[in-house]
């Protein structure tokens, strides 16, 4: 949805583990080096643990992708103690038919499979995901399978990946022999406040995005809301970019991140940190973000015109752009101040006053915004497109305040002038349909982001 708008080659925050996006920060690089060491030294058992979403699967995919030419890989996931004997499932992951065999025959079949792969000069790697669900009996089965390795050849390597409970399981006294065979183990921690921004920048860079796509405070907001958990970071960033696209904003601010995260987690499922959004930043941090937004919104240096009128116009344009930047950051009071100054320029008066009305609406002052839009229409100022946008924004406010008939009238007038103007046709269809029609209507944070309703609620006038 937002990829083309921000110049991205793909979705940088997809939840699908992709080695191409691997961030090699200090913790992840150390984990990767240890996994690689275990592979190269043919460790019988390697263990990697971490909370859900910390990046274990991406690390495993990376190391296995690097070794794929010399490795026959089997992945055993969705493990639980109710599986019974583990060996039939292990054979199945490698495509070995063990149907109808007893435990001895299964063991021999797996030993024969290992011999075949060894003759082909291939190692066999078994990855057991969610290994914390294994009981002591299943781990003992894996230990017995590792006995098929000997001093001359070690064709089988087993990697256990799981949540922190796996480490507690392996510390049990009855599993001492198993624990002694583990050559490499690492516990993956969440990112800290320094690594989270680096991780986000890395993924945006891999996708071809700009380095200034998010403000520094936006990175901090993501970290404080996600606790540095990579999967949660991806989810928050993904929704924040969608909100930025809906607002047609050039960059993502902390307010966009907070709004997106709060809307996304409203159902109580997304396990964000228990923080108060209003206390997420100090006054100094908020001030620094506003300074950064002002710097980002400054136009590129250009040769100064000779005429005074050109200088005045350039100043008004700069004020207008700064107002838009503050508006996108949620700093509506400051934005209104800049728009009021920009409105002194006759060429920007209509657009600036429109933005003031939008700021009033965003502050919850809908009645004032309605009156201002109505006054703008009565003034007769602005281009036809400017006036068309004002009518659209006025219709949206009337619709939101329950004045449906008035909103429908404006939408119909807009539809007659411009058949496919924004989402007018779609809105008319929904408003005109009787409630008993049974028609489906999307709701929730994601409803605003559906492709067929791309037009943002209050997009900046162009």
Give Rg (Cα) of the chain.
Answer: 30
Question: Please, which residues have CB within 8 angstroms of residue 188's CB and are 6 or more apart in sequence?
Answer: 27, 28, 31, 48, 49, 50, 54, 55, 56, 59
Mean pLDDT for 397-408 is 87
In this structure, of 102-111, 294-303, 363-372, the range with the lowest mean pLDDT score is: 294-303
d(CA 131, CA 164) in angstroms, rounded, equals 10
Using alpha carbons, list the distances in angstroms from residue 37 to 34, 127, 234: 5, 16, 29
pLDDT for the residue 151:
63
Q: Give 354's pLDDT tier (boundaries 50, 70, 90).
A: very high
pLDDT digits (tens, 9 = 90+) for 113-150: 999 998 888 889 999 999 998 888 889 889 989 988 87
Domains and CATH numbers, the chain: 42-188 (3.40.50.300), 317-327+342-462 (1.25.40.10)
What φ, ψ does residue 70 adopt, rounded to 5°?
-110, 15
Nearest Cα neighbor of 24 from 16, 33, 15 is: 33
Q: What's residue 314's pLDDT?
A: 52
Question: For the segment 6-56, what is each residue's pLDDT rounded down to a tens digit?
Answer: 999 999 999 988 888 888 888 888 998 998 888 888 888 999 999 999 999
Instruction: Give the confidence band of 445 by pLDDT, cuts at 50, 70, 90.
Output: very low
DSSP letter assigned to residue 11: -
Q: Mean pLDDT across the chain, nearest whole number?
A: 83
**N-terminal to C-terminal alpha carbon distance within the chain:** 20
Q: What is the mean pLDDT of residues 403-422?
A: 86
Strand partners, 48: 161, 186
**68 — pLDDT class (breaks 50, 70, 90):** low
DSSP 110-149: HHHHHHHHHHTT-EEEEEETTGGG--HHHHHHHHHHHTT-
């Amino acid at each position: 949805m937002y990829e083309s708008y921000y110049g991205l080659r793909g979705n940088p925050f997809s939840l699908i583990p992709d080695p191409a996006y691997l961030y090699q920060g200090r913790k992840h690089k150390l984990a990767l080096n240890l996994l690689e060491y275990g592979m190269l030294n043919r460790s019988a058992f390697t263990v990697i643990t971490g909370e859900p979403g910390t990046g274990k699967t991406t690390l495993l995919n990376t190391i296995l992708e690097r070794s794929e030419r010399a490795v026959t890989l089997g992945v055993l996931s969705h493990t639980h103690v109710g599986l019974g004997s583990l060996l039939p499932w292990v054979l199945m992951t490698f495509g070995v038919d063990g149907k109808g065999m007893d435990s001895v025959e299964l063991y021999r079949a797996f030993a024969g499979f290992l011999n075949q792969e060894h003759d082909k000069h291939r190692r066999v790697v078994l990855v057991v995901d969610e290994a914390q669900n294994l009981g002591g009996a299943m781990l003992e089965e894996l230990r017995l399978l590792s006995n098929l390795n000997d001093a001359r050849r070690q064709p089988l390597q087993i990697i256990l990946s799981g949540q922190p409970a796996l480490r507690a399981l392996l510390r049990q006294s009855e599993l001492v022999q198993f624990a002694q065979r583990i050559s490499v183990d690492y516990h993956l921690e969440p990112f800290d406040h320094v690594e989270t921004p680096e991780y986000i920048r890395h993924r945006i860079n891999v996708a071809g995005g700009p380095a200034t796509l998010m403000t520094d405070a936006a990175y901090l907001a993501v970290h404080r809301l996600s606790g540095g958990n990579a999967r949660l970071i991806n989810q928050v960033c993904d929704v924040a970019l969608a909100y930025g696209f809906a607002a047609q904003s050039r960059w993502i601010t902390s307010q966009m991140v907070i709004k997106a995260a709060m809307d996304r987690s409203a159902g109580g499922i997304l396990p964000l940190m228990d923080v108060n959004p209003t206390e997420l930043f100090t006054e100094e941090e908020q001030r620094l973000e506003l300074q950064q937004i002002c710097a980002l919104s400054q136009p590129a240096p250009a040769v100064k015109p000779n005429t005074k009128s050109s200088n005045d116009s350039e100043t008004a344009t700069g004020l207008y752009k700064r107002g838009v930047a503050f508006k996108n950051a949620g700093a509506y009071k400051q934005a209104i101040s800049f728009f009021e100054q920009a409105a002194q320029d006759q060429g920007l008066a209509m657009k600036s006053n429109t933005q003031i009305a939008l700021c009033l609406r965003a502050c919850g002052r809908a009645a004032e915004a309605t009156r201002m839009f109505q006054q703008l229409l009565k003034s007769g100022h602005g281009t036809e497109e400017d006036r068309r946008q004002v009518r659209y924004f006025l219709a949206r406010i009337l619709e939101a305040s329950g004045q449906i008939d008035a909103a429908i009238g404006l939408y119909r007038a807009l539809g007659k002038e411009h058949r496919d103007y924004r989402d007018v046709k779609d809105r008319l269809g929904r408003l005109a349909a009787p409630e008993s029609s049974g028609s489906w209507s999307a709701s929730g944070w994601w409803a605003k982001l559906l492709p067929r309703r791309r037009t943002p609620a209050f997009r900046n006038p162009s």
